[in-house]
Amino acid sequence: MSVFSLPASEKLKTARIMQQNVINTTHAARNALNPVDRHKVNDSDICYPQEPEISHFIEFARDYAVTIEDQSQNMKVIGGIIKNDAFYDNNEDKKIQKYIIQNMFDGTRYSAALLKNLTALKIDVKNQNSKLF
């Protein structure tokens, strides 16, 4: 089933699940956790109504903006490592670096699914009280 044919509540719910996973990958990268041990989220912590409104989207977008800012801080660090070819030779440090990069790439994959669900929403921007489709 295409994401475009899902109800808006499902799109928002899935986007929230993906956001929670992005938050977890960002945290795991900052703490160099083994991705295998990272907490994976399969259920949304927010229950959206059957017919969500623009206000639900706005609330999600504001919260997601913070998530993106946190994720971008990690990306700057990883970008510096890659740009400067600053990879460790020591096995333990190399493993930590691998965990950091793997967690961030996982976060990027979750972000892609999140954005696919958000861009599948139809929003009537002329009416602040309209429903999402």
Domain annotation covers residue 29: yes
Does 58 fall in a domain?
Answer: yes
Model pTM above 0.85:
yes
Task: Report CA-CA distances (Å) from 93 to 13, 19, 32, 87, 90.
Answer: 38, 29, 10, 9, 5
Instruction: With respect to residue 65, please indicate whether it lies within any of the assigned structural domains.
Output: yes
Structure letter (DSSP) for residue 131 = B
Q: How many angstroms separate the CA atoms of 106 and 25, rounded?
A: 7
Structurally, the chain folds into a number of domains equal to 1
Cβ-based neighbours of 129, under 8 Å, separated by 6 or more: 53, 54
What is the predicted pLDDT for the residue at 81?
Answer: 77
Boundaries of domain holding 76: 3-38+50-119
Q: What is the rounded average pLDDT of the residues 109-128? A: 93
Q: What is the pLDDT of residues 22-76, one digit of tens each?
A: 999 999 999 999 999 999 999 999 999 999 999 999 999 999 999 999 999 998 9
